[in-house]
Amino acid sequence: MPVPYESYQPASNRQSSMTTPKRANKRKGGKRTAVLVLLLCAFWAIWQAQHQTRIAPARQMLLDDLGSLWDLSDHEMTGGSGVAQWTIRWNMTVRDGTMGMLASVLFTDAAGNPSDTTADQNGKTVKGELPHYGGRVTLSLVASTAESEQLMLLYEAGETSEAGARQLTKHELIQAAEAVSSEVESFTDDYESSMHAKGYTYNNDAIYAISRLAAAKQVDSYVDGGTVSDTFFTNKLKNEVIVDNGQRGNLQIALHRNTEAQKLELIVGVPVITGDYSLVNE
């Protein structure tokens, strides 16, 4: 029986209509696979970000602020930040007995052998050179109980007993801080840090110049003899403290008139300046 013209389909059309559902299924399968891949990538990115934040938030904050402090001080320090005296400080509460273990890890040369150290009579302070980091470390036991120890670790960059002061690069300083932080994190990743740079300046308005560069707001100030010190808050730094007047501060800048050397000393600290204001090895 002849096929009516209206119902007739060429062979090519009949084949196409028969395979259309299969092609549609393939397209749907491809879309599902693409969506699955995107979801897996998203989950991986979230997990990785959370993992990185969880293992070293204190270290990242320290390194970020250290780089920012270098940049803020560089223009006002005579000779730049590379000739400044840098001190980085870690404060931590750890289990009893950690000081000895941390000291054995820190005071080791590049070949894995114990390096020379000096200790006080009570063994509460240990000092040693870290030539492969380009500086010196002081580890102190601040307080202790039967179960815990409060430790303070100081890293002084650019000073070695053999060669004297040396000029650092920004990369070397950050690399050293990261290396020491990594050793500390073998025992705890919950620690507080601070840092400061000391040098000379020719600019009597260095405090204003640095605070302006940091887009910082002044929150406190004092004058004591030959020292002028101002504390600021800036969004360019991450670490912060509450100063005496109850405001947030994270950048302290001081000028000190050294009458013996007849020079103007510049000290810049994050979040505040710790220790004395005078330069050593003058």
Q: Which domain holds residue 202?
A: 56-270
Count of structural domains within the chain: 1
Residue 281 has pLDDT above 50, yes or no: no
| pLDDT above 70: residue 121 | yes
- On whether residue 278 sits in a domain, the answer given is no
Return the H-helix or E-strand segment holding 42.
Answer: helix 11-55
Q: Is residue 36 part of a domain?
A: no
Residue 60 forms part of a structural domain: yes
Long-range pairs of 160-167 with CB within 8 A, sequence gap ≥ 24: 160/129, 160/131, 160/134, 160/135, 160/136, 161/129, 161/136, 162/129, 162/131, 164/281, 165/83, 165/85, 165/281, 166/134, 167/79, 167/82, 167/83
| Dihedral angle over CA of 51, 56, 60, 63, nearest 10 | -150
Whole-angstrom Cα distance, residue 199 to residue 188? 32
Q: Is the dihedral of CA 204, 209, 214, 215 positive or negative?
A: positive
pLDDT: which is higher, 11 or 150: 150
Report yes or no on 151 lying in a domain. yes
- Whether 190 is covered by a domain: the verdict is yes
- For the residues 164-186, what does the mean pLDDT come to? 87
188-202, 240-254, 263-277, range with the lowest pLDDT: 263-277
**Residue 138 has which token pair?**
């002081």
Asked whether the beta carbons of 194 and 275 are under 8 A apart, the reply is no
pLDDT (0 to 100) of residue 39: 67
Confidence of residue 168 (pLDDT cuts 50, 70, 90): confident
- pTM of the model as a whole: 0.77
Q: Is residue 4 part of a domain?
A: no
How far apart, in whole angstroms, are the C-alpha atoms of residue 233 and residue 237?
A: 8
For residue range 19-71, list pLDDT tens digits in order. 455 555 555 566 677 666 676 666 555 545 444 444 469 999 999 999 999 99
Residue 163 has pLDDT above 90, yes or no: no
Is the residue at 244 inside a domain?
yes
Residue 263 in this model has a pLDDT that exceeds 80: yes
**Candidate from 9-13, 40-44, 123-127 with smallest mean pLDDT:** 9-13
Residue 223 contacts by C-beta under 8 Å, 6 or more apart in sequence?
A: 229
Is residue 262 domain-resident? yes
